[in-house]
């Protein structure tokens, strides 16, 4: 257990993981727990502070998530956010009612700068509000330290020695202009933490822990080439070297050159001294996918075939002592093992271990890290940036970026189009950054090409064509739960269009997908 820890208690809020990430950005370790966690367990963890998240309920409703007053008597600072703020007031004797004016979105807020929570921020700034209820009467012993035009208690603090704070807005989201500063003040100043949670120390201590756990045992890892599995492979390589065997199944549905890039880093000519097995199963996958057009059917075939290939390789290797998994903290939370807003999905990395591998135990050294922390570990371990900052990629790969049947020729088309598109976006962003000293505002968080199942007539030279249309997608998003189409400069899109049509055989149209999420998804299938 880390020396310093902040506990986030989840009441079903959509931003629970974001709260924990913001705490860790203050270099303080943080974990998420359900509001149902026994108070004795919370005390035993000896947290430096506690944060209560938002939630979709009304605190005065029967059956709403709640807590007892003893949570506020542990003696450590407690910060309630939105629902957590209302719950704190409700439990301690305040009054919460339906708001006469619902506040949602960016809201001008006035702050009492004499309170340490708002140290270093302006007297007035924009925050993100999202509530139908409001605190109409504060609990005994509390005073207002922030207000808006419609909310007299935008923030509350005790006027005695109890370190209790209630904030009606969401400081964890980027829309709150000085939200990070508010959380920093709570986590580092009010909770008196040192801020020793850093990735260099994590790498050092985790390598030692892995060596102690594994001893002289053998470890098997299914290496996909994604960020999580690649960082895991590099970490285990540093810890146990040749005791690690990585099986990389190239199903032929990766992005252009990715298979060779993965082998270049982890294969015999790479810098990591491990046992690396590459299985070139492209033709096997194409045969299985022939004639299949339904998205879920394709997903199922790709997933099952991976298991079959990995099973065959595992049998050749024989018994191992440990199976390594690239589980990261969002997997744990979303699988219902962490917070309350939980059970979103049953993730393949948590539970459901393959029974065809003969192993004694599992190794999950990245289990407590968020994705951005995993990337930092990757850089600390010396992985190349193109691998560490690889964009999100679906498990079934290009199989779900090809509408309709998957064939080798269609894979070639989407690989080449995608490579051109990403290259041009990257080049334009680099040029802008060199000229302006920062990334362009339009720079997307994810961008890729997909192959539609539409064919249409075109003219190239003096000849009539009947070829496919490629769709290019680029989105701006904070948390990938919602997304908007990125406003990539039109001249960049024109260059992409021209190059794709001229360089990729079988394409005569390029579309730009403007759909937001919702109603659409970021991926195509």
Q: Which residues are known to be catalytic?
A: 82, 170, 172
- For the record, the structure tokens of 261 come out as 């890039």
In contact, 220 and 310? CB cutoff 8 Å:
no
Q: What is the DSSP string of 210-222?
A: HHHHHTT--EEEE
79: left (phi over 0), alpha (psi -120 to 50) or beta: beta
Report whether the peptide linkage leading into residue 519 is cis, meaning its omega lies within 30 degrees of zero. Answer: yes
Q: Shortest CA distance to 375 belongs to which of 356, 357, 392?
A: 392
- Is residue 132 within 8 A of residue 83, CB to CB? The reply is no
HEC-encoded secondary structure of 289-346 = HCCCCCHHHHHHHHHHHHHHHHHHHHHHHCCCCEEECCCCHHHHHHHHHCCCCCCCCC
Q: Copy the structure tokens of residue 283.
A: 């033709």
Q: 518 preceded by cis ω (within 30°)?
A: yes
Pairing type for strands 49-52 and 6-10 reads: parallel
State the DSSP H helix or E strand holding residue 362, giving kind and residue range, or none if neither: strand 361-363
| Token couple for 132 | 């139908």
Cβ neighbours around 378 below 10 Å, total:
25
Residue 388 has what DSSP assignment?
H
Cite the DSSP H helix spans in 394-407.
none
Which runs of E-coded beta strand occur in 63-183?
78-81, 95-111, 124-137, 142-147, 155-158, 164-167
Task: Compute CA distances 124 → 176, 271, 441, whole Å.
Answer: 12, 53, 25
Q: What are phi and psi of 455, to 5 degrees?
A: -120, 145
- The Cα 250–Cα 450 span in angstroms is 20
């Amino acid at each position: 257990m880390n020396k310093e820890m902040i506990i986030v208690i989840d009441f079903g809020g959509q931003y629970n993981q974001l709260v924990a990430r913001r705490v860790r950005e203050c270099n303080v370790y943080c974990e998420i727990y359900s509001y149902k966690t026994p108070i004795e367990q919370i005390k035993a963890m000896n947290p430096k502070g506690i944060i209560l998240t938002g939630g979709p309920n009304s605190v005065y409703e029967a059956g709403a998530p709640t807590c007892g007053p003893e949570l506020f008597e542990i003696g450590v600072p407690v910060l309630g956010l939105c629902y957590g703020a209302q719950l704190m007031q409700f439990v301690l004797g305040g009054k919460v009612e339906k708001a006469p004016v619902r506040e949602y979105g960016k809201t001008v807020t006035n702050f009492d700068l004499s309170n340490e929570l708002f140290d270093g921020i302006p007297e007035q700034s924009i925050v993100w509000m999202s509530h139908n209820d409001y605190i109409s009467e504060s609990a005994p012993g509390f005073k207002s330290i922030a207000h808006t035009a419609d909310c007299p208690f935008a923030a509350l603090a005790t006027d005695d020695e109890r370190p209790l704070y209630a904030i009606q807005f969401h400081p964890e989201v980027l829309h709150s202009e000085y939200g990070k500063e508010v959380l920093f003040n709570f986590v580092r100043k009010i909770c008196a933490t040192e801020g020793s949670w850093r990735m260099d120390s994590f790498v050092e201590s985790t390598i030692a822990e892995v060596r102690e756990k594994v001893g002289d045992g053998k470890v098997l890892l299914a290496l996909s080439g994604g960020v999580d599995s690649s960082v895991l492979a590099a970490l285990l390589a540093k810890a146990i070297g040749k005791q690690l065997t990585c099986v990389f199944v190239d199903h032929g549905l990766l992005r252009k050159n990715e298979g060779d890039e993965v082998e270049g880093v982890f294969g015999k000519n790479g810098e990591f001294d491990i046992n690396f097995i590459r299985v070139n199963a492209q033709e096997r996958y194409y045969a299985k996918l022939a004639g299949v057009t339904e998205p879920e059917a394709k997903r199922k075939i790709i997933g099952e075939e991976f298991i079959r290939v990995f099973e065959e390789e595992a049998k050749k290797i024989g018994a191992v002592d440990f199976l390594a998994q690239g589980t990261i903290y969002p997997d744990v939370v979303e699988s219902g093992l962490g917070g309350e807003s939980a059970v979103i999905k049953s993730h393949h990395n948590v539970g459901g271990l393959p029974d065809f591998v003969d192993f004694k135990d599992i190794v999950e050294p990245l289990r407590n890290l968020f994705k951005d922390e995993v990337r930092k570990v990757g850089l600390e371990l010396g992985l190349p940036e193109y691998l560490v900052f690889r964009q999100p990629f679906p498990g079934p790969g290009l199989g779900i970026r090809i509408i309709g049947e998957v064939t080798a020729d269609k894979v070639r088309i989407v690989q080449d189009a995608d490579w051109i598109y990403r290259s041009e976006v990257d080049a334009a962003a680099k040029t802008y950054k060199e000229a302006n000293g920062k990334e362009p505002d339009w720079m997307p968080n994810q961008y890729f090409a997909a192959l539609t199942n539409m064919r249409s007539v075109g003219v190239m030279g003096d000849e009539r064509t009947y070829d496919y249309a490629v769709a290019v997608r680029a989105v701006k998003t904070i948390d990938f739960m919602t997304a908007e189409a990125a406003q990539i400069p039109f001249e960049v899109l024109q260059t992409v269009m021209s190059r794709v049509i001229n360089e990729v055989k079988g394409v005569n149209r390029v579309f730009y997908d403007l759909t937001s999420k919702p109603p659409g998804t970021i991926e195509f299938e």
